[in-house]
Amino acid sequence: MTSQHGHTVFTSFDAIPATYPIGIFDSGVGGLTIAAAIRRTMPDEKLLYLGDVARQPYGTKSPRTVTRYAVQASEFLVEKGIKALVVACNTASAVALDAISERFPGLPVLGVVEAGADGAARASARGRIVVAATEGTCRSEAYERAIALRRQDATVRCIPCPLFVALAEEGLTDGPIVESVARHYLGSLFDRDKGADGEAGDCLVLGCTHFPLLAPALARLAGPGVTLVDCAEATASMLVRLLEGREAPRGSGGGLQLISTDAPERFSRMAGKLFPAMGPSPAVELADL
């Protein structure tokens, strides 16, 4: 273990205690979709979740700013003591994963874009893939690159849907407002008669960790022939393989600790509303990065 700029940095994975949690971060409550899947898949592991709500949204910011925020969020979690890091934010995964991995050479780090791309490449029947994501994720073309490595026949259309983030953070996950915003962004892409290029999408990737919260409305809009891809389960499976591959010490007892960079009461209310399994008002600690 070494210390850089006051932060603890692990240089050897062997040195990381089994009792340490898995660190997870997003700009807000969206990454809890990933945390929930990890809890289902690895119930014995302790999870430490950071929602950087003071600086959200990440999706409309420049790659430079998102990278700075993502590295700071990672440093905060590493300093608390974690045995692996999940970047539960597509925007940060798309632009900052290399910077985070370079910053913590001894730590297993996993992003969510690979999982989403993998799911899309498997799920799409005709290779007509629509990715709903943030502006930053679309601008990075990370999905196009990751899918091209897996399916050369695929056409990928990445559609920025920034208002979906605000709707999810507001706890507004279904109903006429969500349907109308969804139609605004995605309506023409799943129109069997008027699809772009004359080809309607056959697969919709929820390329932002907030978007699975709107899944029922998005599934209705896309229609019965379209497969929705949510990267949460795939990320959890990848994490299992990553930790097994590194012969990581297993956790015990489970548990989820929540930290927010602003308004912890609001974070608690929204987490409780969107994820009833956490109870009506889970404890949320306030922290400055």
Residues contributing to the site for ligand DGL (CB under 6 A): 26-27, 30, 56-59, 89-91, 134, 137, 165, 208-210
CB of 168 to ligand DGL, least distance (A): 8
CB of 157 to ligand DGL, least distance (A): 17
Closer residue to ligand DGL, CB minimum distance, 30 or 251:
30
Would you call 89 a catalytic residue per the annotation?
yes
Pick the catalytic residue from 138, 161, 203, 208: 208
CB 86 within 8 A of CB 110: yes
CB 144 within 8 A of CB 207: no
DSSP-derived pairing of the beta strands 2-4 and 284-286? unpaired
**22 forms bridges with which residues in the sheet?**
47, 84
What DSSP element (H or E) covers 84? Answer: strand 84-87
Rg of the chain (C-alpha set):
18
Would you call 208 a catalytic residue per the annotation?
yes
Q: In the Cβ-directed half-sphere of 139, how many Cα atoms lie within 13 Å? A: 15
CB 174 within 8 A of CB 168: no
Closer residue to ligand DGL, CB minimum distance, 89 or 256:
89
CB of 166 to ligand DGL, least distance (A): 9
Closer residue to ligand DGL, CB minimum distance, 16 or 55:
55
3-state secondary structure of 145: helix
CB of 254 to ligand DGL, least distance (A): 24
Q: Which residue is nearest to ligand DGL (CB)?
A: 59
Closer residue to ligand DGL, CB minimum distance, 120 or 200:
120
Pick the catalytic residue from 89, 138, 158, 231: 89
Q: Which residues are catalytic?
A: 89, 208
